[in-house]
Amino acid sequence: MNLVKNPVTGMKDVLPAEAELRNYVMDVIRRTYAAYGFRQIETPAVESLANLNSKQGGENEKLIFKILKRGDKLKLEEARQAADLTEEGLRYDLTVPLVRFFSAHQAQLPSPFKALQMGPVWRADRPQKGRFRQFVQCDIDILGDASNLAEIELILATTKALANLGFSGFEVRIGDRRLLKAMAAFAGFAEENYDEVFIILDKMDKIGRDGVRQELIDAGFDREAADRYLALFAQMEGKKGTEGIRFLKETLGAHLEEQAADNLTQILECVEQTKEADFALVFDPTLVRGMSYYTGTIFEVAMPEFGASAGGGGRYDKMVGKFTGQDVPACGFSIGFERILLLLEERGFRIPTEGKKAAFLVEKGMSASRIGKVMEEAEELRRNGDQVLVVRMNKNKKFQKEQLTAEGYTEIREFFNRED
Amino acid sequence: MNLVKNPVTGMKDVLPAEAELRNYVMDVIRRTYAAYGFRQIETPAVESLANLNSKQGGENEKLIFKILKRGDKLKLEEARQAADLTEEGLRYDLTVPLVRFFSAHQAQLPSPFKALQMGPVWRADRPQKGRFRQFVQCDIDILGDASNLAEIELILATTKALANLGFSGFEVRIGDRRLLKAMAAFAGFAEENYDEVFIILDKMDKIGRDGVRQELIDAGFDREAADRYLALFAQMEGKKGTEGIRFLKETLGAHLEEQAADNLTQILECVEQTKEADFALVFDPTLVRGMSYYTGTIFEVAMPEFGASAGGGGRYDKMVGKFTGQDVPACGFSIGFERILLLLEERGFRIPTEGKKAAFLVEKGMSASRIGKVMEEAEELRRNGDQVLVVRMNKNKKFQKEQLTAEGYTEIREFFNRED
C-alpha cells in the first residue's frame, strides 16, 4: 500500500527557500525585541479545553482541533457528545497560553514582564488561498504595567522590527475601547448593544459613513442615535492625531473618562518624538479590533501594499484575573507573521548573505583518502564563513550544475577519482 | 471560575532563560548545517494517521495523540472504536514526515537532497522526570545518495555542530545492520529471530557477554548458536576500528556481503582523516539502534557525562518506496536536542553575548516629552548593539534593582519626572 504523500487538509509543507526566509524573519524579530528587553517564552501546543473554551478566544473557539482522550479516560460507550471524548486541544492563539503561563510562573518572572512568543497555532478554518490551518503567530506582551509606557514600547519595538525587515511608509492606527464606548454612549446606544454597533462601525472603510448609518438603521437601531453617531465621525474628519482626540474630549464630556483621552494623546506625542522607523501613528476613531477582551488602547498595522491588517493588538487588563482571581494590567502587539512573509515573498526579498556558496561534486567510487582531501578543502572554505555543499556527481552533470546554479551556488568544483 | 494555570499533563512551559538557550542551540545547529549545504524544511505538526500508523514508527505508534474528527465527519453514534473518530494525529518523529515531504515534492528538490528539520514532536509517554510529551527533535537527512559520502558528511557535520556547542571528547559509535545480520547468521540464528536476538544483544553494555548468552538461552535459543555468537564478540575484543571490521570480513565469509565491510572501513578512514571536532569514531559490533527501518550503517553519539545516547541515526533505503513505490537511498542523523540542552544546563553554560544589558527605570507619571527623551537615549545605546530595557520604576525600587541585576543587567539608570 502506498502512503499519503500530501500534507493533511489545510496545512502546508515549507520548502527550503521559504523555510530559510521564515527563519530569517524570526531571527530579525527576535533580535529586535531582545534589544528592547523582551524575553522569549514557549508554551506547549496543547492546552486544556477548559482554558481554550473560556470565552477569551471569540470565534476561534469554534475552530479548535480537539485531542481524543486516551486509555481508560476514553469511554466510548458512554460518550454522548464530542466534549465527553476530549479534554485538551491545540492552541488557536498565543494570548490565552501566555496568560496561563504568567498565572503559573508569576513569582519567577520580573515585574513588569516583557514577553516574546513566536510559534504555531492551529485553527480548523475553511481552507482557502493563503490561509492555513497551522500558522505562526508572533506576539509581544507587557504584563504588569498599567501605564502607557507599555503601549509606547510595544509600538516603538514593533515598528522597529518591521523597519529592520525593510518595511517603511506604513501606518499604525490607534484608538481606545473607552473612546469607542464613550462615542456610542454619547450617540445614545445602549451598552448591551455596543458590540453589535462596533461590528457595523468596523465596516466604515468599506461602506463609508452612509453605509454604516444604513446598516445601523437596518439592524433596528434608533435613527436618531445613528445620526448623532455618524455626525461625530463627520466632525472628526480632517482633525488629525491629537486634534481629533481633543475634539472628542471636549465633545463627549462626562461620557468619557478624562484619563483615556490624555493617555492616548501622550502615546501619540511620545511616539512621534521618538520613533526611528518610517511610519505614521494615526488616531483612528473607527478602529474596532475584534476581540472583546480589549479594555483600553487598541492598535493595528496597515501596510500600503496590503488590504488587510499586518498586525495589531491592545490592552487587556482583565484577562489574568480570569486565571488568578486578581487582575494584572496587560498589553500586547501581534505581528501578522504570515502576512509579513507573503509581502516579503511578493517583493522578491533576498536574505542578506555572508560568504559565498560553493558546491563540490565528487565522482562516484572515490577512495577514502581522496574523499578526505576533498572534505578538508571544504572545511577550509567553511572556516572563512562560506557554505560548501559536497555531493556526489550525478550522471547528468550538466543538469546538476544548472540546478546548483539556480540554487545560488556561485562556485562549482569537480573532483575526480584520478587527479589530473 | 478560575481557569487551569498549569500546562497539560506531561508538557512544559519554557521560561525565558531556557527559551534563550534553546534558541541559541538551534541557531548554532542551523548555522553549522547550513555551512554543509543542508537546507531547512518544515512539515505540519499534524499528519495522516494512515502514515503515522504505517509501521515505520515502531513503539511510537502506540503513543500518538489523535485528533477528533470535526463536523459531518464525526459520527459519534456509529463509532465503534477510536479509529472511527480520528483520521489525523500529531507527529511522533520527523522521519515519517520527511519521507512524506520528499515523496510529495521530489520534483522540486535537488538530488541528492540534504534536509535539516528542527521542530516539536509529541508522544503520549508516561510522564517522568526530564521526559516530556512534547519535545524538539533535530534531524539531518540526505536523500538520494547511495554512497557513503552521505554517512561521512552526516558524521562530520553533526560532530562539528556538537563541537560548536562546546562538546569534546565524545564518541560516535558506528555499525551496520548488514554486519549485525551476518554475525547472527554466522552464529546460526534463523532470520525471523534476528530482531529478538538484537534486542538482547543491545543489553551488552549493561549485562555483559555472559548476561547476553544467558538471556539468549533463556529465550529458548540454541545454546550452540549463543556460544558461537558470543565467541565472535569475545574475539573482537581489543580489535579496534578497521581491524575489527577486517576480522569480521575474514571470519563471516559468505554470510557478509563484501561491500558492507569495505563501506564501513572507508567511512572510518575518511572521517579519521578529516574530522575537526574532538571525538572518536568507534566501530561497535554490538550497536543495534531500535528502529527496524534501518538497512545499513547505523550510528550513535555517546557523551562521557551522559549514560544514554545523545543522538544517532543510520541508513534507511526502503522507506521512501513505501510512499512512492520507488526506493530512494536515505541516511539520517538525529541530534538528541533535549539531552544536549540538559547537558548544557548542567554545565551552567552561558550564552555568549554581544553588547551590554542596561535597564532604564522611569518614574510614574512622567510627561510624554520626557519619556520621549528617555526612549531616545535608549535607542542610542541599542544602535551600539546593547540591550536596553525601559520599565516603569516600581514602588519597591531596591527589590526591582536586585531582580534586574540577577537577570544580568549590568547598568541601571533611573529617570525622574523632574530633572535633577
Phi and psi (nearest 5°) for B115?
-110, 140
Q: How many CB atoms lie within 10 A of CB A395?
A: 7
Interatomic CA distance for residues B71 and B86, integer angstroms: 12
- Strands of the sheet containing A134-143, edge to edge, are A39-40, A113-122, A134-143, A330-335, A309-315, A297-302, A170-176, A279-283
Is this structure's pTM higher than 0.80? yes
Q: What pLDDT, on the 0 to 100 scale, is given for residue B79?
A: 85
Q: What pLDDT, on the 0 to 100 scale, is given for residue B352?
A: 86
Q: What pLDDT, on the 0 to 100 scale, is given for residue A1?
A: 53
CATH fold label, A16-346 = BirA Bifunctional Protein; domain 2 (3.30.930)
C-alpha distance from B297 to closest chain A C-alpha (Å) = 16
Beta-bridge partners for A26: none
pLDDT tens digits along A54-66: 887 788 889 999 9
The verdict on a CB contact (< 8 Å) between A51 and B85 is: no
Interatomic CA distance for residues B298 and B70, integer angstroms: 41
Count the residues in chain B: 420
- Give B324's contacts in chain A (Cβ within 8 Å): 2, 5
Q: Name the one residue in this structure whose C-alpha cell is 569537480.
A: A414
**Phi-psi domain of B250 (left: phi exceeds 0; alpha: psi -120 through 50; beta: other):** alpha
**Closest-approach residue (CA) in chain B for A388:** B36
Please tell me whether residue A341 adopts helix, strand or coil conformation: helix
pLDDT tens digits along A179-191: 999 999 999 999 9
Please tell me whether residue A25 adopts helix, strand or coil conformation: helix
The verdict on a CB contact (< 8 Å) between B149 and A265 is: no
Q: What pLDDT, on the 0 to 100 scale, is given for residue B4?
A: 92
Q: What pLDDT, on the 0 to 100 scale, is given for residue B141?
A: 98
Spell out, as residue ranges, where chain A has pLDDT lower than 70.
Answer: 1-2, 419-420
**Side chain identity, residue A2:** N
C-alpha cell at B227: 556460544
Spell out, as residue ranges, where chain B has pLDDT lower than 70.
Answer: 1-2, 419-420
**Closest-approach residue (CA) in chain B for A47:** B8
Mutation test of the interface with chain B: which of A14, A22, A32, A46, choosing the one with the most B Cβ atoms within 10 A?
A46
Q: Give start and end residues of each alpha helix (H) in A219-257.
A: 223-236, 242-252
- Strands of the sheet containing B86-90, edge to edge, are A46-48, A86-90, A66-68, B66-68, B86-90, B46-48
Q: What pLDDT, on the 0 to 100 scale, is given for residue B419?
A: 64
Proportion of chain A above pLDDT 70, given as a percent: 99
Report the greatest alpha carbon distance in chain A.
Answer: 93
C-alpha cell at B151: 554517512
**A243: Cβ–Cβ under 8 A, 6 or more apart, which residues?**
none
Backbone Cα Rg of chain B: 27
Every domain of chain B and the residues it spans: 16-346, 357-415
